[in-house]
Structure 1
Amino acid sequence: MTVQQPTRSARNATGSAWAAREWTRDEWLAYADRLLDTARTHASPGAGRIHFPGAEGGYGHAVDGLEGFARTFLLAGFRIAGARGEGTEELADFYRRGIVTGVDPDAEDRWVRLDEHAQAKVEAASLALVLDMTRPWIWDRLDALTQERVIAYLAPVVGDATYPKTNWLWFRVVVQTFLRSVGGPWSAEDIADDLALHDVLVREDGWISDGFERSYDHYVGWALHTYPVLWSRMQGAGELAGGRTADDLVRLDRFLQDAVTLVGADGSPLVQGRSLIYRFAAAAPFWVGAIAEVPSVPLGQLRRAANAVVAHFAERTVPAADGVLTMGWHHEWRELAQSYSGPGSPYWAVKGLLGISLPADHPVWAAESEPLPIEAGDDLRVVRPAGWVISGTRADGIVRIANHGTDHAAAGSLVGDSPLYARIGYSTAAGPLANQLAWEEPLEQSVALLDAAGRATHRAAMDLIDVRVQDDEGGRLGIAASVSRAHWITLRPSAQRHGSGIDGDIEVAGVVEVHSLVRGPWEVRLARVDSLEPGIDAASLRLRVGGWALAAHEAPRSSFEERRQDEDRNAAPVSSPRPSSSTEDDEAGQSASIIANGLSSGIRPLLGHGATSIETREDASPLGPVAAVPVATYPVQVGAWIATLVELTTEDLASPADATAAVALAADGAQTTVTVTWPDGTATTSRLAHPGTASVANR
């Protein structure tokens, strides 16, 4: 079935960003049916496994087949439940046949058991959830022997203490709740322990950390808020919940107030965190909000947010012509996946289609559409647990975050910076570099000390010292800051990478303090080296500030190229040497910018003797084969501040090179006051928090 793709409307008189037309429920079903129809063509003879084309995953062929079955079974369950079984008999028959085969110990395409491989524990949760959701059409129609085998297949979950202390807790809860409902083994102690663990991971304002590291990403929404709501609707869950569901919904409601602000006007989710190959699973918490009927975010806005996210990828041919979801973002890029991911892994994306489980008469389908926050106006807020300042600008439709509290690391540890977590900035329009070099070398959205060999320091785990929104005469200003023991790291080989930075031998360089002052498309990034380790000479170091990385199919244009073209036209001498290898001209005191796909990324030294350049990387970004990063590099003087203007917006809205921008600092004892003149002429004055005087204020 062909999906009518959303169309784009013209910019309106206020210049707001492009917006996609919303899908009808029939179009949602058509998109889901295309994924399901394709999946069935890749099934094994007994339908117990689904093997999508592509290189075998890190866990092997058998696990790949189980993932393909279990994750598409999620979508099949949504489809069947939303139709109340009508017109979905063939689909239910196919997955029933796959279940019969999957739990048959003698079948060649049986499922990998939970005591054979840990990944089966993840997939078991999808199986149990959908068996409960579609009970009248699948479970109740299985023969008695198959039901016994399903129970035996799931039973090893009981008493298993090897589940990671992360979102995996919900896999054990969901499976045991189903087992209890069908007369299988279960443990009240296991469920109580897992629910208690979930509560330990809860943070302020509805946010939840995915484990005990500072891990804030899409798992907050598509796992840690999604499972509590779906679990509460499973048979018998009410008896196990002990009255906790009301609190879970309060947290979900508060989280969604932030989550809707993290969707770009083009529907892109934030390009941040691990498992980005799940893509439009980022729509799941909006559907969960509709299911739970949260009070603070209207149904029409929840539906629009979910629609915007899924349509963003559908418009960019996800899936491609063959109907298969690949490991990548807008296109296949294997580097974005975790090392263990296989061809079936991307199908956790189907969580973003959870809305089709809501029948046609559910009020969400009739609710009047309401604009996303970024479509209604500029937005500035903080996420205190994550140490984020969120800045969304209506004119260009881009959402950005300045990050000073999330690094997927344990407090006090010294590890490599994960490019998916520990960078200073993430957005809906620009992605982090994520190839092997990016794990070893912080470049884009970083402040790093460079030694004589060009090695860059890492900042994880940094300490958050400030996150707040300041109301100033010049308007609202987002402020976040952190301090880190900047360190070089010599890589140790790692077989698996789950999001955290690389391990290795550590050499501490010194203490680096960074403050982000955020206003609209701009960040003024203040930094200073507070101290250096004994024996390290400041004269041998440089301090490098990296801007936003842009990627495209062709090399992004740079301001240096444009200046050279102007000079050539005017027959003037070139002011700097031609670029060599990956680095463009080095120009002291000048702004540098790159243009790609209608976006502009710029950097400009405002305080200190900064020289600008453009770094290029090939096959380093999920958004295109050639990436470029504008950088500013400064000499190191311990205790001296540098200031850099960092900008991300559309090409037509980019600040001109001669726009006024300046920073003035004033010290009063231990206090530092900064006055910023922004490129639009507005001036703001702020007092900086320093280590030991943390200011984590209400937004």
Structure 2
Amino acid sequence: MCSGSRQGVTDRANDFGSYDWFVAKAEALLTPLAELMRDGDSVIPIDGPPSDHGEMADRLESVARPMLLAALWLGADRDPTRPMLDADRLATWFRSAIELGTDPASGGYWGNLSNHHQHAVEMAIIAMSLGIAGPALWEPLADDTKRRVAAWFAQIRGHAGYRNNHLFFDVLVLEFLHAIGESRPGDDEAIDHLMRQLESMHMGDGWFIDGTNETYDHYNAYAFHTYGLYWAHAFGRRDPERVARWRTWASSFLADYAHCFASSGEPAPIGRSLTYRFNGVGVFALAFLNDIDSVKPAVACELCARCIEFFTSRPIGQSQGCLSIGWTDEFQGIREPYSCAGSPYWSAKGFFMLALGRDHAFFTSPATQLPADGPFTRPIRTPGWVVRSVGGGEVEIVNAGGVCSPGAAARFGSWRWGRQAYRTGVGVLIAPKAEVTPPDLALVARTADGKEAYDRVSTIPARLDSEMAQSFFALGSKATGFHVNVESRVAWNGDWLLLAFRVTPQQPAILTFGGFAIADGSGDVSSDGVAVVSGRDGRQAVLQALDGFETIDVLKRSPDAPRQHLYTDDHAVATASTGELSEPATLVALVYAGTDEAAAAPWSVETIGDGEIRLTHATLGEWSVAGLVP
């Protein structure tokens, strides 16, 4: 079983990470939901905000996503000697909900599917749930109910879906219909077509771009590979060649992805749908259902347990005790337009280890460490990332890639993928609107009058190795014609990042770069132009401008402004800005975040120019970087 000794997690008397530990965690999440279930209802009345999909979709989501969690728990090898939820009552309620929800004559009807509708997502979740817990949820249904469920699912044939990971939802529903004897001529060809479309999104080494969103983030884990490995395990015997391909991709991806979690279990906060919290770890368990061992069982168990514990040990419940929208607490500001009260229960996918037997090596292997428990630097070419360990068991994604389509930028904000780095243990700022760019770890160009601001939307990675990350991007907009070309180079030393930008403005522009945003922080700027922000937890952030910047400031949330920090209500962040630039210029800055006060001291500049920077530090010694200054 997993180790009982690790950073940030208390000892659980050797129970931590056992099969029964995961069962109990799932049950604890189900308990407040069970208390809300009422006989004769087909939805769970979870309090929370609406999505932009409409009330009918939100109602369905409130039952479909918890159903997956319930299915994994119901299908688990539970210890009958331990007190637990009433499994029979839970299964009975969900069967009744299925019967009512798929009956058009019922007042609890879940509604019809239409083109580009959210119902396709929830249909697939229900199909997965029925497959996972068939003896509890599917087999006891009456034959006429089964036929009605099949007719409801059949609406998915030929419907217009989004060309991204959503294509998997059609695949999973059509495969379920085939499994229960309700397929139609042409379904196999449709599945093949959809899978080929999904495979066209594979960019290499197991990494997928999310279709028309054009983004790389945790959707690789909890969408492409979770659905891909579930499909391979449940239905892949009909297409062994495709199964082998998806398993090979997953093996490569998981070897990379295991490095994206801190020693605490926190995932790096990059991308959208952060409110799904720990749902990305389920793919590590699904790997073993597919005979994939690129991440060893003990490491996978430790990672899953630490990630689930990281979140569930914090106040992530809302007023009813159900999962809230947020990260380490309830934070509505993190919500995308498509999220509603039931959305956080996508985290159910984090419990696929319950589908493994309790005697599986996942649970019985000797304790081990995570990659973040030791030093590493891992370039990942396809997304354009260098993932590395930093102090205190944290990890950082140095982001020399990052692509965001115009549609995704307008709907979600390009800053979710466009920062220079994403580090655990620090958090990020979440803008109140998609078009507003938070300053932390972002290079932002403003028009000379300050009325327009632009951040990264598409980045081309160049050099990517254990010492440096180089990339090219442009800041601006077709609508305004504003354009600034940027060449970015980033080097690192412990908890420090050294960044150099070669900027070429096509119109007068002001460039601003921000340091790490510190929760509950306050700070000031020293006489020698170094900004220091300190938080209540002993964490510090430092911004030291070396070349090209004219002013440094510390921005703190005003009392009447909405919350922006991922962790807490208040924050402070240091920024450095240029004057108005009309000619090419080189900007160089150092940023730090950590808890080592001696390491946080500023650097002395020995040489800057001629392609080299040489620095000295009272604690860290000399640091010389060639090729950093463009």
Q: State whether TM-score is above 0.5.
A: yes
> Structure 1 53/461 Cα, relative in aligned 2: closer, same or farther at 3 Å?
closer
SS at match of 2:453: coil
Provide the aligned length of Structure 1 versus Structure 2.
Answer: 611
SS at match of 2:120: helix
SS at match of 1:170: helix
**Which amino acid in 2 is paired with 1:59?**
H
> Structure 1 614/278 Cα, relative in aligned 2: closer, same or farther at 3 Å?
same
SS at match of 2:252: helix
In the TM superposition, what is the alpha-carbon distance from 1:227 to its structure 2 partner?
0.8
In the TM superposition, what is the alpha-carbon distance from 1:277 to its structure 2 partner?
0.9
CA distance in 2, matches of 1:384, 1:449: 27
Please list the CA deviations of residues 398-423 of structure 1 after superposition, one character each: whole Å capped at 9, or x if unmatched.
11112121132269x99995221111
Contact 2:607/2:614, CA 8 A, preserved across alignment: yes
* Structure 2: gaps (5+ residues): 81-85
SS at match of 1:29: helix
In the TM superposition, what is the alpha-carbon distance from 1:559 to its structure 2 partner?
4.1
Please list the CA deviations of residues 515-559 of structure 1 after superposition, one character each: whole Å capped at 9, or x if unmatched.
2112321111101222x32xx34xxx432111111223xxx1214
CA distance in 2, matches of 1:219, 1:77: 22
Q: Which position in structure 2 is the counterpart of 1:276?
A: 274
Kindly report which structure 2 residues correspond to 1:390-539, keeping only aligned pairs within 5 A, or say none: 390-393=387-390, 395-409=391-405, 418-436=414-432, 439-455=435-451, 457-470=453-466, 477=467, 479-487=468-476, 505-530=479-504, 532-533=505-506, 536-537=507-508
CA distance in 1, matches of 2:536, 2:216: 29
CA distance in 1, matches of 2:541, 2:452: 21
2:595 alignment partner, one of 650, 654, 664: 650
In the TM superposition, what is the alpha-carbon distance from 1:83 to its structure 2 partner?
2.5
Contact 2:115/2:161, CA 8 A, preserved across alignment: no
CA distance in 2, matches of 1:426, 1:436: 19
Deviating more after overlay: 169-178 vs 198-207: 198-207
Contact 2:333/2:430, CA 8 A, preserved across alignment: yes
Deviating more after overlay: 679-688 vs 171-180: 679-688
Question: Is 2:85 the partner of 1:93?
Answer: no
* Structure 1: gaps (5+ residues): 1-5, 11-16, 471-476, 490-503, 564-586, 667-671, 691-699
In the TM superposition, what is the alpha-carbon distance from 1:674 to its structure 2 partner?
4.9
Please list the CA deviations of residues 221-262 of structure 1 after superposition, one character each: whole Å capped at 9, or x if unmatched.
01100111111222x5311x2421122112112111111111
> Structure 1 662/600 Cα, relative in aligned 2: closer, same or farther at 3 Å?
farther
In the TM superposition, what is the alpha-carbon distance from 1:128 to its structure 2 partner?
0.8
Question: Is 2:576 the partner of 1:632?
Answer: yes
Question: Is 2:124 the partner of 1:125?
Answer: yes
Q: CA RMSD in A?
A: 2.8
Kindly report which structure 2 residues correspond to 1:83-232, keeping only aligned pairs within 5 A, or say none: 83=77, 88-115=87-114, 118-160=117-159, 162-186=160-184, 187-232=187-232
CA distance in 1, matches of 2:474, 2:370: 39
**Which amino acid in 1 is paired with 2:190?**
D
Normalised to the residue count of structure 1, the TM-score between the two structures is 0.81
Q: Which position in structure 2 is the counterpart of 1:682?
A: 622
Please list the CA deviations of residues 17-71 of structure 1 after superposition, one character each: whole Å capped at 9, or x if unmatched.
5455433322222221122222122235423111201233333333222111111
CA distance in 1, matches of 2:598, 2:17: 30
SS at match of 1:450: strand
Q: Which position in structure 2 is the counterpart of 1:237?
A: 236
Question: Is 2:519 the partner of 1:551?
Answer: yes
**Which amino acid in 2 is paired with 1:460?**
R
> Structure 1 639/435 Cα, relative in aligned 2: closer, same or farther at 3 Å?
closer
Q: Which position in structure 2 is the counterpart of 1:578?
A: none
CA distance in 2, matches of 1:242, 1:398: 39
CA distance in 2, matches of 1:456, 1:655: 34
CA distance in 2, matches of 1:40, 1:381: 43
SS at match of 2:486: strand
SS at match of 1:76: helix
Q: Which position in structure 2 is the counterpart of 1:26?
A: 20
> Structure 1 467/390 Cα, relative in aligned 2: closer, same or farther at 3 Å?
farther
CA distance in 2, matches of 1:71, 1:465: 37
Contact 1:336/1:434, CA 8 A, preserved across alignment: yes
Q: Which position in structure 1 is the counterpart of 2:83?
A: none
> Structure 1 386/251 Cα, relative in aligned 2: closer, same or farther at 3 Å?
same
> Structure 1 34/348 Cα, relative in aligned 2: closer, same or farther at 3 Å?
same
2:380 alignment partner, one of 383, 391, 394: 383
CA distance in 2, matches of 1:637, 1:511: 12
**Which amino acid in 1 is paired with 2:384?**
G
Kindly report which structure 2 residues correspond to 1:245-324, keeping only aligned pairs within 5 A, or say none: 245-319=243-317, 322-324=320-322
Contact 2:614/2:622, CA 8 A, preserved across alignment: no
Contact 2:164/2:213, CA 8 A, preserved across alignment: no
CA distance in 1, matches of 2:344, 2:222: 14
Contact 2:396/2:424, CA 8 A, preserved across alignment: yes
Q: Which position in structure 2 is the counterpart of 1:365?
A: 363
2:60 alignment partner, one of 66, 79, 87: 66
SS at match of 1:203: strand
Contact 1:420/1:432, CA 8 A, preserved across alignment: no
In the TM superposition, what is the alpha-carbon distance from 1:512 to its structure 2 partner?
2.4
> Structure 1 616/452 Cα, relative in aligned 2: closer, same or farther at 3 Å?
farther
Contact 1:608/1:643, CA 8 A, preserved across alignment: yes
Please list the CA deviations of residues 380-431 of structure 1 after superposition, one character each: whole Å capped at 9, or x if unmatched.
11221211121212x32211112121132269x9999522111112121223
Please list the CA deviations of residues 184-215 of structure 1 after superposition, one character each: whole Å capped at 9, or x if unmatched.
13412221111111211112222111114431
**Which amino acid in 1 is paired with 2:194?**
D
CA distance in 2, matches of 1:265, 1:674: 32
2:609 alignment partner, one of 634, 656, 665: 665
**Which amino acid in 2 is paired with 1:601?**
A
CA distance in 1, matches of 2:300, 2:28: 24
In the TM superposition, what is the alpha-carbon distance from 1:350 to its structure 2 partner?
1.2
CA distance in 2, matches of 1:506, 1:551: 35
CA distance in 2, matches of 1:607, 1:415: 35
Deviating more after overlay: 103-112 vs 342-351: 103-112
CA distance in 2, matches of 1:313, 1:415: 27
> Structure 1 613/600 Cα, relative in aligned 2: closer, same or farther at 3 Å?
same
CA distance in 2, matches of 1:674, 1:588: 19
> Structure 1 60/542 Cα, relative in aligned 2: closer, same or farther at 3 Å?
closer
Contact 1:550/1:596, CA 8 A, preserved across alignment: no
**Which amino acid in 2 is paired with 1:196?**
R
SS at match of 2:576: strand
CA distance in 2, matches of 1:142, 1:100: 8
In the TM superposition, what is the alpha-carbon distance from 1:155 to its structure 2 partner?
0.2
Deviating more after overlay: 311-320 vs 420-429: 311-320
Contact 1:217/1:273, CA 8 A, preserved across alignment: yes
In the TM superposition, what is the alpha-carbon distance from 1:310 to its structure 2 partner?
0.6
Contact 2:254/2:295, CA 8 A, preserved across alignment: yes
> Structure 1 550/330 Cα, relative in aligned 2: closer, same or farther at 3 Å?
same
CA distance in 2, matches of 1:69, 1:414: 30
Contact 1:417/1:423, CA 8 A, preserved across alignment: no
> Structure 1 322/425 Cα, relative in aligned 2: closer, same or farther at 3 Å?
same
SS at match of 1:303: helix
Contact 1:588/1:609, CA 8 A, preserved across alignment: no
Contact 1:589/1:609, CA 8 A, preserved across alignment: no
Contact 2:221/2:280, CA 8 A, preserved across alignment: yes
